[in-house]
Amino acid sequence: MDLEEFVVNPRAAYLKAERYLNSGSPSGLSQRYTTSERTQPRSSTPSFELSIIRFGDDVALEDVGDRCDRYITDGCMLVHPDMLQSTYLPERSVYSIEGTVAVAPTASGRTVLVLGADYFVKLAYLEYLGRLVRHINREMVLSACEVTKQLVLALESKRVTPAFGILKESSGRIAHIPKGGLGSSIASLPMNANSCYEWGVLFREFRPFPYANDRELLIPFFALFSEEFDPRIGGAAAVQDTPLIIQLFEKQNKSIVEFLLENILFPLFNTYFDALLSAGIELEAHAQNMLLAIDTRFAVRRIVCRDFESAGRDIPVMEHVGIPYSLHGDYKCNTIRPREPGHKYEKYYITHSFMFDFKLGEYLVTPLLDVVNRYCPFDGAALTKKLKEFNRQFIDRLPAGFFPPDWCSYENVNWDRDRRPREYIWHDNPRYR
Q: Side chain identity at 347, as an amino acid letter?
A: K
> 278, 289, 334, 409: which one contacts Mg ion (CB under 5 A)?
289
Contact assessment for residue 103 and residue 162, using Cβ atoms and an 8 Å cutoff: no
Residues 6+ apart with CB under 8 A from 366: 431
> 201, 260, 287, 387: which one contacts ligand ATP (CB under 6 A)?
287
Q: Using CB under 6 A, which residues numbered 402 to 421 contact ligand ATP?
A: none
> 42, 80, 110, 302: which one contacts ligand ATP (CB under 6 A)?
110
Q: Would you count residue 111 as binding ligand ATP (CB under 6 A)?
A: yes
Tell me how far CA of residue 272 lies from CA of 107, 282, 396, in angstroms.
21, 8, 14
Least distance in angstroms from the C-beta of 221 to ligand ATP: 8
DSSP 342: T
Q: Using CB under 5 A, which residues numbered 96 to 155 contact Mg ion?
A: 108
Segment interacting with ligand ATP, rule: CB under 6 A, options 20-28, 65-73, 94-102, 311-319: 20-28
Least distance in angstroms from the C-beta of 289 to Mg ion: 4
Q: Would you count residue 353 as binding ligand ATP (CB under 6 A)?
A: no
Task: Note the helical H segments in 198-243.
Answer: 221-225
Residues 6+ apart with CB under 8 A from 222: 21, 22, 23, 107, 287, 288, 364
In DSSP terms, which residues pair with 176 in a beta bridge?
Answer: 60, 198
Segment interacting with ligand ATP, rule: CB under 6 A, options 86-94, 102-110, 227-235, 350-358: 102-110
Least distance in angstroms from the C-beta of 213 to ligand ATP: 26
In DSSP terms, which residues pair with 217 in a beta bridge?
Answer: 294
Binding track, positions 363-402, relative to ligand ATP; x by CB under 6 A: x---------------------------------------
> 65, 105, 130, 243: which one contacts ligand ATP (CB under 6 A)?
130
Write b or e for each residue in 373-395: b if 16 or more Cβ atoms lie within 10 A of its Cβ, otherwise e: eeebeeeeeebbeebeebbeebe
Contact assessment for residue 292 and residue 300, using Cβ atoms and an 8 Å cutoff: yes
Nearer to ligand ATP, 30 or 409 (CB): 30
Q: Using CB under 6 A, which residues numbered 190 to 249 contact ligand ATP?
A: 222
Reference 72, options 117, 39, 104, 137; nearest CA is 117
- Give the residues lining the site for ligand ATP (CB under 6 A): 22, 24-25, 29-30, 106-111, 122, 129-130, 134, 222, 284, 286-289, 306-307, 309-310, 363
